[in-house]
Structure formats: C-alpha cells, structure tokens
Amino acid sequence: MSKVETSHLARQPAVVLDERAVQRENALLRELVTVYQHLTGLTLQDADVSTVLQLLASRTAATVAVVSRGLEVMAAAGPDLPDDEVAGNVRDYVAARRLGTVLNSTAQTRRSLRLPDTADSAGVIVAPILVGDDVPAYLLTFSKAGADGGDMSLLVTEHAATICGVILGRERVVAAAARQVRDDLVEGLLLGAGHGNGEVGRWARHLGYDASREHRILAIAIETTGSAGASGSAAALWKRVATAIDHFFASRLPGAIIAVREGEVVIVLPDHDGQAPPGTEVSRLTASCLTRMRDLFPEAVVTIGIGGSCRDPAEIARSYGQARRTIDAVVRLGRQGQAVAFEDLGIHRLLLQVPDLAELKSFATEILGELDRQDPQRGAELLATLACYFRENNSPQRTAQSLHVHPNTVAYRIRRVQEITGLRLDTYRDRLMAQVAIEILAATEGGMDVLHAPERMPR
C-alpha cells in the first residue's frame, strides 16, 4: 500500500466527524428556521403571549416565562408541568435570586443576558421585550441542567421576545382604542347627548350600566399641593392619584363605570342592592377612598361631589351636573378634602348661586351680627340656641331636650336674641331672614359643627 493510500485512510475518521457536525448544524438551522416561521406566523393570528410560550416550550423542551417589570409572572409554560405550576416555580426562582437588578440591566441595554448554571439551577436566558421605546416585560428561557445552551436557544429566545413585543404592542393599541371608545360613550352620557334620538340607552348598555339599579355619579377633584413642586411633577402626581382612585373603586365595585377626564375623575357608581338604605354604601366607599388617598398621597387633596340618585340612563347627566355643582360649592366654601352629597347642601345650593360670598356674609352680619357685638361672651351660645330652635320647629320643649337645658332657659335666650337683633321671630318674614342668615354663617364662617351639633356647645 502506498503512502498516499495510507494517509487517505488515516484522514477518513476526521472527515466522517466533520460531516456529522455539518449535518447536526444543518438540523439545528432547519429547526431554528421552523421555530422562527411558527413564531412569526403567530403575529398574523389572534395569538396572545401564552400561545407564544406554549409553542416555544413544545419546540425547545424548555421552561419559558414572561415576567413584568414588577417581577410578576404574566405567563409561563413548560414541557412537563401545567402552566400554573410552572408559573409558581418561576415566581419562586425570581424571588429567591432577586433578579430585579439583572432585569433592569437588560431593560437599559436592550440586550439579552445569559445567566450561567449554578449548583441548584440550570442556566437562564433573559431577553427584554420591547414595545416601542418601552420594556414592559422580559422573556426568560430556563434550560435543563447539563443541556447544551448554545446560540440556538439565545436566538430563539430573542426572536420570541420580539414576537411577544409585537403582540403586547398590538394589545396596547387595541386597549387604547377600546378605552377611547369607552371614554367617548361616557362623555356622551355625562353631557346628556343622544337624548333626542334615544342613543343614550344603547350607550349605557354598551358600558354595562344596569338600569334596574339606582346609581350615583361621583365627581372627584384632585388638587396637588406641597411637595408636588414643578408643574411636570404636579401633573405626574395628579395622574398617580387618579390611577389610584380608578383602582380603588374598580377593585371594590366591578360594576362601576370610571372615566379619568380632564381635571377630574368621574364614576358612575351602583348605589345599593335594596339591603341597605340608599346612599349608605356610597357614603362608606367615598369616606374610605378619602382616607386611603390621604394615606397614599398626603401632598394631594381629594374632594368628592356626589350627585343625586339616578336609574334611567337619561338621568346620568343630571346627577353628574349635581355632583359638579357640589364640588364647586365645597371649593367656594374652602372645605376641600371632603365627600359631600348634593342633597346635603340644602339651601346652600341656592345661596351659593350668589357670585359674591362677601354679599352673603354682609347679609348674615346685618341680621345676626349684633349678637356678638352686644354680648360677646354669650353670642355663640345664643346663636346655637336659635339654630336648634329653628330645627325643632320653634318648640322650646324639644329645643330644651336637645340642648339639655330647662325650657325657661331656651325661652330666655330666644327673647334675648329678639332684644339684641330687633327681630320678631313670631313673624314669617323675620323668622325666614334669621334662618337664612344662620345657614350663611354655617357655610361661610366654618360654624357648621356648632350650629348643627348644639349638644357640643358649652353650657
């Protein structure tokens, strides 16, 4: 045998090995192209992120998951376990290894990372999911221990992350469009449009309005003060408070219709189910909301106006108008930070139509101001007694019971009021002027607690 033939035989094993390597690479490339095609095809279908992960897990035999920026598992899939169990395992892994810093790094660099194998876990490929300039989530691929985590896993993970980005972006567009349609429908209901052609009922049904139940309309004003600082940060704070209010009511009453409008949050709130007095549930929720917002955002002031009850969709605009007028009244009186119902305003609904509050105060001072000027020590006591006397329909006995004093004491105080002011309370005209003056003082001088809770006044 010649030297050439001997050399040829010696090289044969190397040639065979090279052919096998080429065949393996070709098989991997074909598999890569196939996975790429399947993933890309999902963008033409009505697929979600879970569908992408299921395909990826079945083709690569790896555990995969999408994790949000807040480290919440949005979806997960694996070759051997149910999705819920896979999600639990991924959640435990993310929490145990504190991957927040690693994930934030991929978000900043917009590049994938490969975390190496450790003693108790296999390697993980982390790919950022891009939606425009935002990174709302990450795709994680968990390889099996000892498996070959070659470039194919990295390429497939990156492509799958791109597909997830397309799907999430599409969902954002659809959600934004749906939100715009919803806001337009709410806007039509609040403005009272569509009454003439009967469209308002159809709009309300699209929004999920239950015309068999009573509803209240809440108008919520948000004022950002204190540490809000520049207008940009104040606007950001306003948005955070509005989002928190949205979540507060949505999580407690799924039937609520919520719209974040320019400068306010409006809520169409189911009132009661017949088991509690009307307004009870609304009062409880609004008080709880104010407490919650004060705890979360002490630098913001939230004021809630509650419109009258409505059932027919055509009445929504009226209730919203009442809620807005309630907000305006509370702001004019300088009593922001409260929840006030329209019907609780009483005669103030009319009094506050006067453009100049100083004119109202001047009227009240003219009628009852002498009580303080002529008898400074007893003026507040006389005024509170007079307010209680009117509430008890001019009955000295019931007034005495409410104030815990003798009826003769009430009679003396009422007589003293007439002597100082010159009013004759047995005449309709003088009695009406005195009652209106008391309501003005209660609203404009911050005397509501004294005038309407006389049992607290000093005796």
For 202, 213, 215, 282, the CA distances from 310, given in Å and listed in that order, are 16, 9, 5, 13
**Predicted pLDDT of residue 352:** 66
Residue 29, token pair as written in the block: 């490339």
**Predicted pLDDT of residue 304:** 95
pLDDT for residue 16 is more than 60: no
Query: pLDDT: is 278 or 420 the higher one?
Result: 420
Q: 220 pairs with which residues across the strands? A: 265, 304
Distance, in Å, from the CA atom of 159 to the CA atom of 132, rounded to the nearest integer, reads: 16
Region 36-46 average pLDDT: 72
- The length of the chain, given as a count of residues: 459
Region 102-118 average pLDDT: 81
**Predicted pLDDT of residue 38:** 73
**Predicted pLDDT of residue 287:** 93
Query: pLDDT: is 121 or 324 the higher one?
Result: 324
Give the domain ranges of the chain: 24-169, 212-345, 358-456
**Predicted pLDDT of residue 231:** 45
Confidence of residue 186 (pLDDT cuts 50, 70, 90): confident
Query: pLDDT: is 81 or 222 the higher one?
Result: 222
Least-confidence region, from 27-31, 331-335, 408-412, 433-437: 27-31
Least-confidence region, from 126-130, 306-310, 345-349: 345-349
**Predicted pLDDT of residue 253:** 85
Q: What is the CATH number of domain 212-345?
A: 3.30.70.270
Confidence of residue 150 (pLDDT cuts 50, 70, 90): low
Query: pLDDT: is 227 or 436 the higher one?
Result: 436
What DSSP designation does 101 have? Answer: H
Q: How far is CA 297 from the centre of its chain?
A: 13
**Predicted pLDDT of residue 266:** 94
283 exposure class (CB count in 10 Å sphere: 0-12, 13-18, 19+) = middle
Confidence of residue 128 (pLDDT cuts 50, 70, 90): very high
Confidence of residue 272 (pLDDT cuts 50, 70, 90): low
**Predicted pLDDT of residue 27:** 58
**Predicted pLDDT of residue 274:** 54
Region 108-123 average pLDDT: 76
pLDDT for residue 402 is more than 80: yes
Percent of the chain with pLDDT over 90: 17
Fold of 358-456: Arc Repressor Mutant, subunit A (1.10.10)
Least-confidence region, from 3-12, 319-328, 353-362: 3-12
Confidence of residue 268 (pLDDT cuts 50, 70, 90): very high
Q: For residue 441, what are the contacts with CB-CB under 8 A and spacing of at least 6?
A: 364, 368, 383, 447, 451
Q: 129 pairs with which residues across the strands? A: 137
Summarize pLDDT for 242-263 with one digit per residue, the tens.
Answer: 999 999 998 888 888 998 888 8
pLDDT for residue 145 is more than 60: no
Distance, in Å, from the CA atom of 434 to the CA atom of 370, rounded to the nearest integer, reads: 12
Nearest Cα residue to 59 out of 75, 73, 38, 45: 38
Site of tokens 């070709």 = 26
Region 324-345 average pLDDT: 86
Summarize pLDDT for 222-248 with one digit per residue, the tens.
Answer: 998 654 444 458 888 999 999 999 999
Confidence of residue 177 (pLDDT cuts 50, 70, 90): confident
Q: For residue 65, what are the contacts with CB-CB under 8 A and spacing of at least 6?
A: 53, 73, 75, 76, 77, 86, 87, 90, 139, 140, 142
Region 161-174 average pLDDT: 88
Region 164-193 average pLDDT: 83
- Model pTM score: 0.56
Q: What are phi and psi of 134, to 5 degrees?
A: -100, 150
pLDDT for residue 221 is more than 90: yes
Region 161-185 average pLDDT: 85
pLDDT for residue 114 is more than 90: no
As assigned by CATH, the class of the 24-169 domain is alpha beta
